[in-house]
Amino acid sequence: MSLRARLTGFGSYLPKQVVTNADLAERIETSDEWIRTRTGIAQRHIAGEDETAVSMAVNSARAALAYAGIDAQEIGAVIVATATPDQCFPATAVRVQAELGMAAGFAFDLTAACSGFVYALATAEAFIRSGQVKKALVIGTEVYSRIVDWEDRTTCVLFGDGAGAVVLEATEEEGLGILSTHLHSDGSHGDILYVDGPATAKPVLHMQGREVFRHAVAKLSSVVDEALAANGLQGQDIAWLVPHQANLRIIEGMAKKLALPLDRVVVTVDRHANTSAASIPLALDEAVRDGRIKPGDLVLLEALGGGLTWGSALLRL
């Protein structure tokens, strides 16, 4: 019997403060109309001083553990995807491990920008499939509000803060859990979306939006095809698409490619903006808890981020 990794717990955390497009329009030269038309974003949550990558990760992890009905002591590995850690090291993941009171296991961070959650999920799955870990926490946590230039209207309107977590557990049941993952990167495009500076300087995000958009459409299309082909499926076999939430136009493009109506796509970008590695687990948590995604559903995840990195994962809940 081969081992598979099944998603059994979901949790998320959003900062208390909500900043609307109208709020931003009071500070920089932009408008609700421009932001909504180009991106689908209406508002974003922004972390207060007491809300950090670690604290948001811990809150989302606690919710996911409670959902799964397991104790933190049972977790063998914590993998945190983040591009905005509070410190260079220790890793966000070991801070989370300590906060959760875990006496054993191992924990580390992983950076793949907006693809971070898909990368972390694939990494945790490999530990579970190999039998090295039985239960894992996979978390995406981001405070992009601390790395965007709030004077740069071409980037600051796009991002938000938050965290999401899932619990993975080993299962021997055929056809359940993560069916396949597909990861890619191409470092030759590293300069179209990056955060500058050494760790000690004030880092700032830079993006050539049009170029990123062009790559996103092409690369996400191909990585979604790869996931379908690997499992002998068609787009319409998917019950739910849970995409990285960068831009509603990209999300709609992917739904069209898969011939999926928008009511089978989980969309949070309107309320959360782009929360990078946290966006997929935030969306998953929302759709599982409100009953849209049900046990047994076939779910496709896809993301593209700085690097460039991109990936997909197909799973049956």
Residues that bind ligand ACO (CB under 6 A): 30, 34-35, 38-39, 113-114, 153-154, 157, 193, 209-210, 212-213, 216, 246-247, 250, 274, 276, 305-306
Name the catalytic one among 59, 244, 247, 272. Answer: 244
Q: Is there a catalytic annotation at residue 244?
A: yes
Q: Could you tell me the smallest distance in angstroms from the CB atom of residue 31 to ligand ACO?
A: 6
Q: Could you tell me the smallest distance in angstroms from the CB atom of residue 156 to ligand ACO?
A: 8
Structure tokens that stand for 232 in this block: 């002998």
Q: Is there a catalytic annotation at residue 274?
A: yes
Alpha-carbon span 166 to 164, nearest angstrom: 7
Closest CA relative to residue 123, chosen from 253, 317, 309, 255: 309
Alpha-carbon span 216 to 60, nearest angstrom: 28
**Between 13 and 310, CB nearer to ligand ACO:** 310
Structure tokens that stand for 262 in this block: 């928008």
**Between 4 and 153, CB nearer to ligand ACO:** 153
Longest Cα–Cα distance in the chain: 60
**Between 11 and 243, CB nearer to ligand ACO:** 243
Alpha-carbon span 196 to 160, nearest angstrom: 19
**Between 35 and 254, CB nearer to ligand ACO:** 35
110 near 120, Cβ under 8 Å?
Answer: yes
Name the catalytic one among 21, 59, 247, 274. Answer: 274
Q: Could you tell me the smallest distance in angstroms from the CB atom of residue 14 to ligand ACO?
A: 18
> To which H or E segment does residue 66 belong?
helix 53-68
Residue 79 phi/psi, 5° resolution?
A: -120, 120
Alpha-carbon span 148 to 309, nearest angstrom: 20
Q: Could you tell me the smallest distance in angstroms from the CB atom of residue 193 to ligand ACO?
A: 5
Closest CA relative to residue 155, chosen from 230, 247, 53, 69: 247
Closest CA relative to residue 229, chosen from 118, 171, 314: 314
Q: Could you tell me the smallest distance in angstroms from the CB atom of residue 30 to ligand ACO?
A: 3
**Between 5 and 148, CB nearer to ligand ACO:** 148
Per DSSP, the three-state class of 35 is helix
Active-site amino acid positions: 114, 244, 274
